[in-house]
Amino acid sequence: MPTSTSTRAPVEAPASVRFARRRQPARWLTAGAALVLAAMFAHFLITNPRWDWRLVGGYLFSADILRGLLNTVLLTLISSAAGLVAGVVVALMRLSDDPVLRWVATAYIWFIRAIPALVLLLLIFFLGALLPKLSLGVPFGPEFLSVPTNRLISQFSAAVVGLALVLGAYSAEIFRAGILSVPAGQLEAATALAMTRRQRLRRVVLPQAIRVIIPPLSNELVTMFKNTSLVSVVGYTELLTTVQLIYGRTYQTIPLLLVACLWYLVLTSLAMIGQRCLERRFGRGFAAGRPGKEYSR
Amino acid sequence: MTFLRLSGVRKSFGPLEVLRGVDLDVGRGEVVCLIGPSGSGKSTLLRCVNHLETVDGGEIRLEDELIGYTRKGDTYYPLGDRAAARQRRRFGMVFQGFHLFQHLTVLENVVEAPTRVLRRSRGECTEQAHELLASVGLAEKHAAYPRELSGGQQQRVAIARALAMEPDVMLFDEPTSALDPELVGEVLGVMRRLAQRTMTMIVVTHEIGFARQVSDRVAVMDGGTIVELGTPSEVLGAPKHRTTQVFVRSLGERT
């Protein structure tokens, strides 16, 4: 029914009209399905006697388990710190003008990506078989200092070196992506303000790159907690190895694996809380409100 | 007498020759507007002045100091990172896309370079920043983040940020081209006041009205060279070169 402005009939005053919310019947369905699944899972956890919750409770804070947990945390912290430093250095090498640095960094990342972490750990632990002694000196020339490899490589140091090498390669790509995500104009403005290369990187590029880096990097760090369990192959007594040692003796496999799972859940929760704080801190100046909201339907 | 001297500046991007020997002398306190069709090399020339781009020939001197290079015998050696940065302290630059630091507030944007680069005290710099922000009409906005500002406001902050380094020369690279038409005036107003305070300025612009009223001289570029240079009334009032005639007519319709 075509109408022109002049002949249009007066419309009812909008004051009496109300706006309803859009009905979302599908949400009731998804919520219902989620509830049923959750109930089923809870039922399974509570009623199945083979979980043996009393035993789980008994082991959860036992001295052996806590010692294993402490070792896991220690291993994670030390190898993460070393791995992240390696990651930043390798990322900067890959972004460098120097073709040799770029090539070396790429080769490192290629190698670590190709070798499973488990194999790498074993290789490092058994380095003594390949190189009976490690020495410091002029390449192909005289040696100043020489140590038997097996004295240098303990279960702990093999684990740290292996895990740090893995994290270094994976986090390098994350750092590189973060640095590349900062618009070129930011760097140009910093250059025009007479900042040196170091100042541009530290004051302008990295603070903005971190915002992009945090989610994938948190992923890597949480993976790190769990990668520490690979270390059981070299016999370092972190959480999983401890648990395995106990159920190897007592055959209480399921309850003890549950103990390990509970502690991994706790550690991961702590890491995720940390991630949230960091995201809030480095999100300053970027989209306000809940991040990612604009992508919801 | 000559403050900033460009002699025979040449620059190529691969096979594309963008600057084919540009000569330009700018006196202290002078305002020169660079106009010309897009792709004529205006922005590239401006970016060579503070060595954001390397040059392939010719030289740029500010008060006889060679910019971007040292000369030994017949060879120019590029300056290292620190020496180049030191020279850039004398140039302020304003970009078409503002490029404010997104993770810093307005005040932090203005304070950043003087405290980090010139190592002046934070208190002194903060005081100066508040004055500069007031002078561009943004005293109230010091705690806002760049994203919360309009384009015109962001560009005025960018000007304040450049001025905080107390440069000898200000370079403007199409400062109003990314702005909505109603916001152009506020940025040009700030630039006009700056020109009156005898700042040496090189302005790449399409704003013929601004060039006519504010600049001491207008340079018209085409195909990588300056084809016409003179006072605004000469160049814009009675253009001699064909490019200028066509260009001024096409822009004249807008203003």
Q: What is the pLDDT of residue A11?
A: 65
ipTM above 0.85, yes or no: yes
CA distance A283 to A287: 8
| Mean pLDDT, range B200-208, rounded to an integer | 95
CA distance A94 to B207: 43
Instruction: Find, among B97, B81, B100, B211, the residue nearest to B145 by Cα.
Output: B100
Specify the 3-state DSSP secondary structure of B41: coil
Give the confidence band of A32 by pLDDT, cuts at 50, 70, 90: very high
Give the confidence band of A289 by pLDDT, cuts at 50, 70, 90: very low
Six-digit token string for A234: 């070299």
B172 has a chain A CB within 8 A of its CB = no
Tell me the torsion sign for CA atoms A206, A212, A217, A222.
positive
Determine whether the interchain pair A192/B101 forms a contact, defined as Cβ–Cβ distance below 8 Å: no
- In the DSSP assignment, the letter for residue A205 is I
Determine whether the interchain pair B88/A211 forms a contact, defined as Cβ–Cβ distance below 8 Å: no
A192 has a chain B CB within 8 A of its CB = yes
Chain-wide mean pLDDT for chain B? 94
pTM reported for the whole predicted model: 0.82
- Partners of B50 on chain A (C-beta within 8 Å) are 192
Instruction: Find, among A235, A199, A46, A282, the residue nearest to A125 by Cα.
Output: A235
Give the chain A residue whose CA is nearest to the CA of B119. Answer: A195
CA distance A7 to A4: 6
Six-digit token string for B229: 């240079």
Tens digits of residue pLDDT in B10-69: 999 999 999 999 999 999 999 999 999 988 999 999 999 999 999 999 999 999 999 999
**Phi then psi dihedrals of residue B173, to 5 deg:** -105, 95
B142 has a chain A CB within 8 A of its CB = no
Determine whether the interchain pair A193/B147 forms a contact, defined as Cβ–Cβ distance below 8 Å: no
Give the confidence band of B192 by pLDDT, cuts at 50, 70, 90: very high
- Chain CA centroid to CA B177, Å: 13
Q: A209: buried, middle or exposed (CB in 10 Å: 19+, 13-18, 0-12)? A: buried
